[in-house]
Chains A and B, each alone.
Chain A
Protein backbone atom coordinates (compact mmCIF):
# COMPACT_ATOMS: atom_id res chain seq x y z
CA UNK A 1 0.00 0.00 0.00
CA UNK A 2 2.75 2.39 0.81
CA UNK A 3 4.81 3.81 -2.02
CA UNK A 4 8.03 3.74 -0.08
CA UNK A 5 9.58 0.33 -0.33
CA UNK A 6 11.81 0.88 2.69
CA UNK A 7 8.92 0.79 5.11
CA UNK A 8 7.17 -2.08 3.36
CA UNK A 9 7.50 -4.52 6.14
CA UNK A 10 6.28 -1.99 8.63
CA UNK A 11 3.07 -1.50 6.69
CA UNK A 12 2.62 -5.24 6.35
CA UNK A 13 3.36 -5.62 10.01
CA UNK A 14 0.82 -3.01 11.02
CA UNK A 15 -1.90 -4.32 8.73
CA UNK A 16 -1.62 -7.80 10.12
CA UNK A 17 -0.14 -6.53 13.31
CA UNK A 18 -3.03 -6.46 15.71
CA UNK A 19 -4.39 -9.91 15.03
CA UNK A 20 -0.88 -11.29 14.90
CA UNK A 21 0.15 -9.72 18.16
CA UNK A 22 -3.02 -10.95 19.78
CA UNK A 23 -2.26 -14.53 18.76
CA UNK A 24 1.35 -14.15 19.81
CA UNK A 25 0.60 -12.82 23.27
CA UNK A 26 -2.08 -15.47 23.68
CA UNK A 27 0.40 -18.23 22.86
CA UNK A 28 3.03 -16.86 25.24
CA UNK A 29 0.44 -16.73 28.01
CA UNK A 30 -0.62 -20.28 27.15
CA UNK A 31 2.95 -21.45 27.48
CA UNK A 32 3.19 -19.93 30.96
CA UNK A 33 -0.22 -21.30 31.88
CA UNK A 34 0.99 -24.77 30.86
CA UNK A 35 4.02 -24.39 33.10
CA UNK A 36 1.80 -23.49 36.05
CA UNK A 37 -0.59 -26.31 35.18
CA UNK A 38 2.32 -28.74 35.03
CA UNK A 39 3.41 -27.58 38.47
CA UNK A 40 -0.12 -28.04 39.82
CA UNK A 41 -1.07 -31.28 38.07
CA UNK A 42 2.02 -33.26 37.18
CA UNK A 43 0.01 -36.35 36.23
CA UNK A 44 -1.98 -34.47 33.59
CA UNK A 45 1.22 -33.18 32.00
CA UNK A 46 2.74 -36.64 32.14
CA UNK A 47 -0.27 -37.96 30.22
CA UNK A 48 0.10 -35.22 27.64
CA UNK A 49 3.78 -35.97 27.30
CA UNK A 50 3.04 -39.66 26.91
CA UNK A 51 0.56 -38.96 24.10
CA UNK A 52 3.09 -36.85 22.24
CA UNK A 53 5.93 -39.32 22.62
CA UNK A 54 3.61 -42.12 21.60
CA UNK A 55 2.69 -40.43 18.34
CA UNK A 56 6.33 -39.62 17.57
CA UNK A 57 7.78 -42.94 18.74
CA UNK A 58 7.65 -44.64 15.30
CA UNK A 59 9.47 -41.68 13.72
CA UNK A 60 12.09 -41.67 16.45
CA UNK A 61 12.47 -45.41 16.12
CA UNK A 62 13.14 -45.18 12.39
CA UNK A 63 15.51 -42.22 12.63
CA UNK A 64 17.51 -43.61 15.54
CA UNK A 65 18.28 -46.93 13.82
CA UNK A 66 20.75 -45.74 11.15
CA UNK A 67 22.31 -43.38 13.69
CA UNK A 68 22.83 -46.27 16.09
CA UNK A 69 24.35 -48.42 13.33
CA UNK A 70 26.75 -45.67 12.37
CA UNK A 71 27.69 -45.27 16.01
CA UNK A 72 28.32 -49.01 16.28
CA UNK A 73 30.53 -48.92 13.21
CA UNK A 74 32.71 -46.18 14.67
CA UNK A 75 32.76 -47.99 17.99
CA UNK A 76 33.90 -51.25 16.42
CA UNK A 77 36.64 -49.47 14.48
CA UNK A 78 37.86 -47.95 17.71
CA UNK A 79 37.70 -51.32 19.45
CA UNK A 80 39.72 -52.89 16.69
CA UNK A 81 42.55 -50.52 17.42
CA UNK A 82 42.58 -51.42 21.09
CA UNK A 83 42.11 -55.14 20.57
CA UNK A 84 45.42 -56.25 21.95
CA UNK A 85 45.22 -54.37 25.24
CA UNK A 86 41.58 -55.34 25.59
CA UNK A 87 42.52 -58.99 25.22
CA UNK A 88 45.24 -58.68 27.81
CA UNK A 89 42.86 -56.98 30.22
CA UNK A 90 40.14 -59.55 29.70
CA UNK A 91 42.56 -62.39 30.33
CA UNK A 92 43.55 -60.83 33.63
CA UNK A 93 39.90 -60.21 34.49
CA UNK A 94 39.03 -63.78 33.67
CA UNK A 95 41.65 -65.18 36.00
CA UNK A 96 40.38 -62.94 38.77
CA UNK A 97 36.71 -63.66 38.11
CA UNK A 98 37.25 -67.41 38.06
CA UNK A 99 38.30 -67.15 41.67
CA UNK A 100 35.19 -65.13 42.40
CA UNK A 101 33.05 -67.68 40.63
CA UNK A 102 34.42 -70.27 42.96
CA UNK A 103 33.55 -68.15 45.96
CA UNK A 104 30.09 -67.40 44.58
CA UNK A 105 29.34 -71.08 43.98
CA UNK A 106 30.34 -71.93 47.53
CA UNK A 107 28.25 -69.09 48.94
CA UNK A 108 25.29 -70.01 46.79
CA UNK A 109 25.32 -73.55 48.10
CA UNK A 110 25.71 -72.32 51.63
CA UNK A 111 22.93 -69.77 51.14
CA UNK A 112 20.59 -72.39 49.78
CA UNK A 113 21.26 -74.66 52.70
CA UNK A 114 20.70 -71.89 55.22
CA UNK A 115 17.51 -70.70 53.52
CA UNK A 116 16.17 -74.22 53.60
CA UNK A 117 16.77 -74.28 57.34
CA UNK A 118 15.09 -70.90 57.87
CA UNK A 119 12.00 -71.44 55.69
CA UNK A 120 12.95 -68.23 53.86
CA UNK A 121 10.22 -66.78 51.61
CA UNK A 122 11.94 -65.92 48.33
CA UNK A 123 10.99 -62.68 46.55
CA UNK A 124 8.79 -63.14 43.46
CA UNK A 125 10.60 -63.96 40.23
CA UNK A 126 10.94 -60.99 37.93
CA UNK A 127 9.75 -60.70 34.36
CA UNK A 128 11.23 -58.17 32.01
CA UNK A 129 10.67 -56.33 28.78
CA UNK A 130 13.62 -55.40 26.59
CA UNK A 131 13.33 -52.15 24.67
CA UNK A 132 15.40 -49.91 22.47
CA UNK A 133 16.35 -46.38 23.45
CA UNK A 134 14.88 -44.16 20.72
CA UNK A 135 15.59 -40.73 22.15
CA UNK A 136 18.18 -39.46 24.58
CA UNK A 137 16.99 -36.06 25.51
CA UNK A 138 16.66 -33.43 28.09
CA UNK A 139 19.44 -30.98 27.46
CA UNK A 140 20.66 -29.29 30.58
CA UNK A 141 17.44 -29.43 32.56
CA UNK A 142 16.20 -32.99 32.57
CA UNK A 143 17.78 -36.40 32.22
CA UNK A 144 15.42 -38.80 30.54
CA UNK A 145 15.27 -41.38 27.78
CA UNK A 146 12.48 -42.59 25.55
CA UNK A 147 12.10 -46.29 24.78
CA UNK A 148 9.97 -48.00 22.16
CA UNK A 149 7.92 -50.15 24.53
CA UNK A 150 4.79 -49.14 26.39
CA UNK A 151 1.71 -50.42 28.17
CA UNK A 152 1.05 -52.73 25.24
CA UNK A 153 4.28 -54.55 26.06
CA UNK A 154 3.65 -54.67 29.77
CA UNK A 155 5.60 -51.59 30.83
CA UNK A 156 4.11 -49.86 33.84
CA UNK A 157 4.89 -46.60 35.57
CA UNK A 158 7.40 -46.90 38.39
CA UNK A 159 9.15 -50.03 37.15
CA UNK A 160 12.90 -50.23 37.40
CA UNK A 161 15.00 -50.02 34.24
CA UNK A 162 18.32 -51.85 34.21
CA UNK A 163 21.09 -53.01 31.94
CA UNK A 164 23.74 -55.60 32.61
CA UNK A 165 25.81 -52.87 34.28
CA UNK A 166 23.20 -51.74 36.77
CA UNK A 167 20.25 -49.47 37.40
CA UNK A 168 19.36 -46.96 34.69
CA UNK A 169 16.31 -45.31 36.23
CA UNK A 170 12.61 -45.79 36.51
CA UNK A 171 9.64 -45.48 34.20
CA UNK A 172 8.26 -41.98 34.71
CA UNK A 173 5.58 -41.98 32.07
CA UNK A 174 4.13 -44.61 29.83
CA UNK A 175 1.88 -44.63 26.76
CA UNK A 176 0.76 -47.53 24.61
CA UNK A 177 3.98 -47.98 22.64
CA UNK A 178 6.53 -45.70 24.25
CA UNK A 179 7.73 -44.88 27.73
CA UNK A 180 9.90 -42.26 29.34
CA UNK A 181 12.68 -43.28 31.70
CA UNK A 182 13.71 -40.88 34.43
CA UNK A 183 17.44 -41.44 34.81
CA UNK A 184 18.96 -41.71 38.27
CA UNK A 185 20.91 -38.55 37.50
CA UNK A 186 17.77 -36.43 36.97
CA UNK A 187 16.97 -33.66 39.40
CA UNK A 188 13.71 -35.38 40.32
CA UNK A 189 15.17 -38.82 40.94
CA UNK A 190 15.21 -40.09 44.55
CA UNK A 191 16.13 -43.71 45.12
CA UNK A 192 16.42 -45.53 48.44
CA UNK A 193 19.86 -47.15 48.50
CA UNK A 194 22.23 -49.07 50.71
CA UNK A 195 25.90 -48.19 50.84
CA UNK A 196 27.93 -51.37 51.08
CA UNK A 197 29.82 -52.74 52.96
CA UNK A 198 28.44 -50.95 56.03
CA UNK A 199 24.86 -51.29 54.70
CA UNK A 200 23.99 -47.70 55.54
CA UNK A 201 20.51 -46.68 54.39
CA UNK A 202 20.35 -43.47 52.43
CA UNK A 203 18.73 -41.77 49.46
CA UNK A 204 20.44 -41.35 46.11
CA UNK A 205 19.43 -37.96 44.74
CA UNK A 206 20.07 -36.83 41.18
CA UNK A 207 21.03 -33.23 40.56
CA UNK A 208 21.14 -33.06 36.74
CA UNK A 209 24.88 -33.68 36.76
CA UNK A 210 26.40 -36.99 35.71
CA UNK A 211 27.16 -37.82 39.33
CA UNK A 212 24.23 -38.12 41.74
CA UNK A 213 24.74 -37.54 45.45
CA UNK A 214 23.82 -39.49 48.54
CA UNK A 215 21.61 -37.62 50.97
CA UNK A 216 19.88 -38.36 54.27
CA UNK A 217 22.71 -40.43 55.63
CA UNK A 218 22.43 -41.19 59.33
CA UNK A 219 24.78 -39.13 61.52
CA UNK A 220 28.21 -40.65 61.90
CA UNK A 221 27.83 -42.83 58.82
CA UNK A 222 31.12 -44.17 57.56
CA UNK A 223 31.19 -43.88 53.79
CA UNK A 224 34.42 -43.99 51.85
CA UNK A 225 35.34 -43.73 48.17
CA UNK A 226 34.99 -47.03 46.35
CA UNK A 227 31.99 -48.23 48.35
CA UNK A 228 29.38 -49.95 46.23
CA UNK A 229 25.86 -48.51 46.20
CA UNK A 230 22.87 -50.77 45.62
CA UNK A 231 19.11 -50.26 45.83
CA UNK A 232 17.73 -50.97 49.27
CA UNK A 233 14.20 -51.91 48.29
CA UNK A 234 12.72 -49.60 50.91
CA UNK A 235 9.55 -47.88 49.87
CA UNK A 236 8.66 -50.85 47.74
CA UNK A 237 9.34 -49.15 44.42
CA UNK A 238 12.49 -51.08 43.51
CA UNK A 239 13.66 -54.51 44.50
CA UNK A 240 16.66 -54.67 46.81
CA UNK A 241 20.17 -55.27 45.59
CA UNK A 242 20.23 -53.73 42.11
CA UNK A 243 23.69 -52.34 41.45
CA UNK A 244 23.65 -48.54 41.16
CA UNK A 245 27.20 -47.21 41.27
CA UNK A 246 30.19 -46.62 43.47
CA UNK A 247 31.18 -43.73 45.68
CA UNK A 248 33.82 -41.56 44.04
CA UNK A 249 34.34 -38.87 46.62
CA UNK A 250 33.33 -37.95 50.14
CA UNK A 251 34.01 -34.34 51.03
CA UNK A 252 32.37 -32.19 53.68
CA UNK A 253 29.34 -34.40 53.92
CA UNK A 254 28.79 -34.48 50.16
CA UNK A 255 28.93 -38.05 48.92
CA UNK A 256 29.21 -38.31 45.15
CA UNK A 257 28.34 -41.51 43.31
CA UNK A 258 29.38 -42.56 39.83
CA UNK A 259 26.67 -44.74 38.23
CA UNK A 260 27.76 -48.08 36.77
CA UNK A 261 25.61 -47.41 33.73
CA UNK A 262 27.19 -45.28 31.03
CA UNK A 263 24.44 -43.17 29.54
CA UNK A 264 26.05 -42.78 26.14
CA UNK A 265 26.30 -46.53 25.69
CA UNK A 266 22.65 -47.25 26.32
CA UNK A 267 21.04 -48.82 23.31
CA UNK A 268 18.90 -51.60 24.71
CA UNK A 269 17.55 -51.57 28.24
CA UNK A 270 15.45 -53.96 30.30
CA UNK A 271 12.32 -52.81 32.06
CA UNK A 272 11.95 -55.11 35.02
CA UNK A 273 8.64 -56.11 36.52
CA UNK A 274 9.24 -57.35 40.05
CA UNK A 275 5.56 -57.36 40.84
CA UNK A 276 6.04 -54.54 43.32
CA UNK A 277 3.35 -51.92 43.61
CA UNK A 278 5.29 -49.59 45.87
CA UNK A 279 4.86 -45.96 46.76
CA UNK A 280 4.49 -44.86 43.17
CA UNK A 281 1.05 -46.35 42.96
CA UNK A 282 -0.21 -44.33 45.89
CA UNK A 283 -1.24 -41.21 43.90
CA UNK A 284 -3.87 -43.22 42.04
CA UNK A 285 -5.67 -44.22 45.25
CA UNK A 286 -8.22 -41.69 46.46
CA UNK A 287 -6.60 -40.93 49.81
CA UNK A 288 -5.67 -37.22 49.74
CA UNK A 289 -3.08 -37.18 52.54
CA UNK A 290 -1.34 -40.32 51.37
CA UNK A 291 -1.48 -39.10 47.78
CA UNK A 292 0.35 -35.93 48.70
CA UNK A 293 3.21 -37.71 50.44
CA UNK A 294 3.25 -40.37 47.76
CA UNK A 295 3.72 -37.92 44.92
CA UNK A 296 6.46 -36.18 46.90
CA UNK A 297 8.29 -39.44 47.29
CA UNK A 298 7.61 -40.36 43.71
CA UNK A 299 9.11 -37.15 42.42
Chain B
Protein backbone atom coordinates (compact mmCIF):
# COMPACT_ATOMS: atom_id res chain seq x y z
CA UNK B 1 0.00 0.00 0.00
CA UNK B 2 2.68 2.39 1.07
CA UNK B 3 4.76 1.53 -1.93
CA UNK B 4 1.95 2.22 -4.30
CA UNK B 5 1.52 5.68 -2.80
CA UNK B 6 5.20 6.38 -3.42
CA UNK B 7 4.92 4.99 -6.89
CA UNK B 8 1.97 7.18 -7.61
CA UNK B 9 3.79 10.21 -6.23
CA UNK B 10 6.77 9.33 -8.38
CA UNK B 11 4.65 9.07 -11.50
CA UNK B 12 2.91 12.31 -10.66
CA UNK B 13 6.24 14.09 -10.20
CA UNK B 14 7.46 12.78 -13.52
CA UNK B 15 4.29 13.83 -15.26
CA UNK B 16 4.41 17.29 -13.75
CA UNK B 17 8.03 17.74 -14.73
CA UNK B 18 7.43 19.22 -18.22
CA UNK B 19 5.30 21.97 -16.70
CA UNK B 20 7.71 22.47 -13.81
CA UNK B 21 10.69 22.63 -16.17
CA UNK B 22 8.89 25.20 -18.29
CA UNK B 23 8.33 27.35 -15.20
CA UNK B 24 12.00 27.02 -14.31
CA UNK B 25 12.93 28.11 -17.83
CA UNK B 26 10.61 31.07 -17.47
CA UNK B 27 12.45 32.12 -14.30
CA UNK B 28 15.81 31.69 -16.04
CA UNK B 29 14.46 33.78 -18.91
CA UNK B 30 13.96 36.79 -16.62
CA UNK B 31 16.99 36.47 -14.33
CA UNK B 32 19.33 39.44 -14.77
CA UNK B 33 22.56 38.21 -16.34
CA UNK B 34 24.33 41.55 -16.48
CA UNK B 35 25.06 41.27 -20.18
CA UNK B 36 24.57 44.63 -21.90
CA UNK B 37 21.65 44.56 -24.30
CA UNK B 38 20.60 41.02 -23.49
CA UNK B 39 17.36 41.66 -21.57
CA UNK B 40 15.75 43.18 -24.65
CA UNK B 41 16.59 40.19 -26.84
CA UNK B 42 16.86 37.31 -24.34
CA UNK B 43 16.05 33.99 -26.05
CA UNK B 44 12.48 32.92 -25.41
CA UNK B 45 13.09 29.81 -23.31
CA UNK B 46 9.38 29.28 -22.44
CA UNK B 47 8.52 29.26 -26.15
CA UNK B 48 11.10 26.53 -26.77
CA UNK B 49 9.75 24.45 -23.90
CA UNK B 50 6.17 24.74 -25.11
CA UNK B 51 7.21 23.81 -28.66
CA UNK B 52 9.19 20.80 -27.46
CA UNK B 53 6.49 19.36 -25.23
CA UNK B 54 3.77 20.10 -27.77
CA UNK B 55 5.62 17.85 -30.20
CA UNK B 56 6.71 15.05 -27.90
CA UNK B 57 4.36 14.97 -24.95
CA UNK B 58 1.28 17.14 -25.48
CA UNK B 59 -0.51 14.89 -22.97
CA UNK B 60 1.77 16.26 -20.24
CA UNK B 61 1.47 19.85 -21.44
CA UNK B 62 -2.25 20.61 -21.71
CA UNK B 63 -3.45 23.95 -23.10
CA UNK B 64 -4.21 25.16 -19.57
CA UNK B 65 -0.55 24.71 -18.61
CA UNK B 66 0.52 26.63 -21.71
CA UNK B 67 -1.91 29.38 -20.81
CA UNK B 68 -0.53 29.62 -17.27
CA UNK B 69 3.06 29.78 -18.52
CA UNK B 70 2.14 32.55 -20.95
CA UNK B 71 0.26 34.47 -18.29
CA UNK B 72 3.16 34.24 -15.85
CA UNK B 73 5.54 35.36 -18.57
CA UNK B 74 3.33 38.39 -19.25
CA UNK B 75 3.13 39.22 -15.57
CA UNK B 76 6.87 38.90 -14.97
CA UNK B 77 8.10 40.66 -18.08
CA UNK B 78 5.69 43.56 -17.86
CA UNK B 79 4.26 43.25 -21.35
CA UNK B 80 0.47 43.63 -21.67
CA UNK B 81 -1.13 40.65 -19.91
CA UNK B 82 -2.47 38.13 -22.43
CA UNK B 83 0.01 38.63 -25.26
CA UNK B 84 2.37 35.78 -24.47
CA UNK B 85 -0.51 33.60 -23.33
CA UNK B 86 -2.14 34.05 -26.74
CA UNK B 87 1.11 33.59 -28.67
CA UNK B 88 2.12 30.44 -26.78
CA UNK B 89 -1.36 28.99 -27.25
CA UNK B 90 -1.14 29.80 -30.95
CA UNK B 91 2.19 27.96 -31.17
CA UNK B 92 0.83 25.06 -29.16
CA UNK B 93 -2.30 24.77 -31.29
CA UNK B 94 -0.34 24.94 -34.51
CA UNK B 95 2.21 22.33 -33.45
CA UNK B 96 -0.27 19.84 -31.99
CA UNK B 97 -2.41 20.12 -35.12
CA UNK B 98 0.63 19.25 -37.25
CA UNK B 99 2.02 16.63 -34.89
CA UNK B 100 1.85 13.96 -37.56
CA UNK B 101 4.42 15.91 -39.57
CA UNK B 102 6.98 15.73 -36.77
CA UNK B 103 6.85 11.97 -36.20
CA UNK B 104 10.20 10.39 -37.02
CA UNK B 105 11.68 13.55 -38.49
CA UNK B 106 15.35 14.35 -38.08
CA UNK B 107 16.47 17.02 -35.67
CA UNK B 108 17.34 19.39 -38.51
CA UNK B 109 13.71 19.37 -39.61
CA UNK B 110 12.50 19.90 -36.06
CA UNK B 111 14.90 22.81 -35.70
CA UNK B 112 13.88 24.37 -39.02
CA UNK B 113 10.26 24.05 -38.03
CA UNK B 114 11.05 25.67 -34.71
CA UNK B 115 12.66 28.59 -36.52
CA UNK B 116 9.49 28.98 -38.56
CA UNK B 117 7.27 28.72 -35.51
CA UNK B 118 9.43 31.22 -33.63
CA UNK B 119 9.23 33.62 -36.56
CA UNK B 120 5.44 33.40 -36.56
CA UNK B 121 5.42 33.86 -32.78
CA UNK B 122 7.69 36.91 -33.02
CA UNK B 123 5.52 38.44 -35.72
CA UNK B 124 2.33 37.70 -33.77
CA UNK B 125 3.63 39.17 -30.51
CA UNK B 126 4.98 42.21 -32.34
CA UNK B 127 1.59 42.76 -33.99
CA UNK B 128 -0.31 42.28 -30.74
CA UNK B 129 2.01 44.63 -28.83
CA UNK B 130 1.78 47.24 -31.59
CA UNK B 131 -2.02 46.97 -31.60
CA UNK B 132 -2.13 47.23 -27.83
CA UNK B 133 0.04 50.34 -27.70
CA UNK B 134 -1.40 51.70 -30.96
CA UNK B 135 2.14 52.54 -32.10
CA UNK B 136 4.54 51.08 -34.57
CA UNK B 137 7.16 49.36 -32.42
CA UNK B 138 10.80 48.97 -33.35
CA UNK B 139 11.04 45.55 -34.99
CA UNK B 140 14.83 45.18 -34.73
CA UNK B 141 14.98 43.81 -31.18
CA UNK B 142 12.23 41.36 -32.13
CA UNK B 143 14.29 40.18 -35.06
CA UNK B 144 17.43 39.75 -32.95
CA UNK B 145 15.42 37.97 -30.29
CA UNK B 146 14.03 35.61 -32.91
CA UNK B 147 17.53 34.83 -34.24
CA UNK B 148 18.88 34.22 -30.75
CA UNK B 149 15.90 32.03 -29.86
CA UNK B 150 16.36 29.93 -32.99
CA UNK B 151 20.10 29.66 -32.34
CA UNK B 152 19.76 28.57 -28.72
CA UNK B 153 17.04 25.99 -29.42
CA UNK B 154 19.30 22.97 -30.16
CA UNK B 155 21.03 23.26 -26.77
CA UNK B 156 17.77 23.35 -24.87
CA UNK B 157 16.19 20.66 -27.04
CA UNK B 158 19.15 18.40 -26.28
CA UNK B 159 18.63 18.90 -22.54
CA UNK B 160 14.88 18.36 -22.77
CA UNK B 161 15.29 15.18 -24.83
CA UNK B 162 17.74 13.91 -22.22
CA UNK B 163 15.23 14.67 -19.51
CA UNK B 164 12.53 12.90 -21.45
CA UNK B 165 14.66 9.80 -21.93
CA UNK B 166 15.67 9.72 -18.30
CA UNK B 167 12.37 10.39 -16.57
CA UNK B 168 9.51 10.04 -19.02
CA UNK B 169 10.42 6.94 -20.94
CA UNK B 170 7.88 4.60 -19.39
CA UNK B 171 4.47 4.18 -21.07
Asked if A and B are interacting partners, one says: yes
Interface residues of A (CB under 8 A from B): 9-10, 20, 23-24, 27-28, 30-35, 37-39, 45, 48-49, 52-53, 56, 59-60, 63-64, 67-68, 71, 75, 133-146, 172, 180, 182, 186-187, 207-210, 262-267
Top 10 nearest A-B pairs (CB, nearest first) are: A34-B82, A136-B32, A35-B82, A144-B78, A52-B75, A140-B141, A31-B86, A71-B34, A31-B85, A264-B36
Interface stretch among B39-47, B107-115, B156-164? Answer: B39-47
Q: How far is the CA of A44 from the CA of B33 in the complex (A)?
A: 30
Provide 24 A-B residue pairs closer than 8 Å at the C-beta atoms, listed in order of the A residue.
Answer: A10-B100, A23-B62, A27-B66, A28-B86, A30-B82, A30-B85, A49-B81, A56-B27, A64-B31, A67-B31, A135-B32, A135-B76, A136-B33, A137-B78, A139-B145, A141-B83, A146-B76, A182-B78, A187-B135, A208-B138, A209-B138, A210-B37, A263-B36, A264-B36
Categorize the interface residue count of chain B: 35 or more
Interface positions of B (Cβ within 8 A of A): 27-42, 44, 62-64, 66-67, 70-72, 74-83, 85-86, 89-90, 92-93, 99-100, 103, 125-126, 128-129, 132-133, 135, 137-138, 141-142, 145
- B76–A141 CB distance below 8 A: no
Q: B78 contacts which chain A residues (CB < 8 A)?
A: 49, 137-138, 142-144, 172, 180, 182, 186
Contact present for A139 and B41 (CB under 8 Å):
yes
Task: Check A32 against B41 for contact (C-beta < 8 Å).
Answer: no
Q: Is B39 within 8 A of A136, CB to CB?
A: yes
Knowing A24-B93, A31-B89, A146-B76 touch, does A267 contact B34 (C-beta < 8 A)? yes
Residues of B within 8 A of A64 (CB): 31-32
| Chain A hits for B28, CB < 8 A | 63
Count of A-B residue pairs with CB < 8 Å: 177
Q: Is the CB of A39 within 8 A of B81?
A: no
Contact B86–A139 (Cβ < 8 Å): no
Contacts of A30 in B (CB 8 A): 67, 82, 85
Binding site of B, secondary structure by majority: helix, strand, loop or mixed?
A: helix
CA distance A142 to B145 in the complex (A): 13
Q: Decide if B33 touches A137 in the complex (CB within 8 Å).
A: no
Q: Are A138 and B33 in contact (CB under 8 A)?
A: no
Distance of A232 Cα from B42 Cα, bound (Å): 34
Residues of A within 8 A of B70 (CB): 31
Residue ID in chain A nearest B128 by CB atoms? A35
Query: Which residue on chain A has the smallest CB distance to residue B86?
Result: A31
**Known contacts A31-B86, A142-B78, A264-B35: A135-B141 contact under CB 8 Å:** no
Residues of chain B within 8 A (CB-CB) of A182 are: 78
Assembly CA distance A133 to B33 (angstroms): 11
A185 to chain B, nearest CB (A): 9
Contact of B32 among A33, A52, A133, A143 (CB under 8 A): A133
Distance, CA A208 to CA B145, complexed state (A): 14
Residues on the A chain within 8 Å of B31, using CB:
60, 63-64, 67, 134-136
By the criterion CB–CB under 8 Å, are B145 and A140 in contact?
yes
Among B62, B71, B72, B81, find the residue whose CB has the most chain A CB atoms closer than 10 A: B81
Is the Cβ of B80 less than 8 Å from the Cβ of A38? yes
Complex formed: what's the CA distance from A10 to B34 in Å? Answer: 47
- Contact call A32/B86, Cβ cutoff below 8 A: yes
Taking the nearest CB of chain A, how far is it from the CB of B89, in angstroms?
A: 5
Minimum Cβ distance to chain B for residue A299 (Å): 10
**B80 cross-chain contacts in A, Cβ below 8 A:** 35, 38-39, 45, 141
**Nearest CB to that of A185 among chain B residues?**
B40
Closest to B36 in A: A264
With A60-B27, A140-B137 given, name 9 new contacts (CB 8 A).
Answer: A34-B81, A45-B80, A56-B27, A137-B78, A141-B83, A141-B125, A141-B126, A210-B37, A264-B38
Q: Inside 8 A of A139's CB, which chain B residues have their CB? A: 39-42, 44, 77, 79, 141, 145
Report Cα–Cα, A135/B78, bound state, in Å: 11
Q: Is the CB of A35 within 8 A of B63?
A: no
Contact of A265 among B34, B76, B89, B126 (CB under 8 A): B34
Q: Is there an interface contact between A23 and B64, defined as CB atoms closer than 8 Å? A: yes
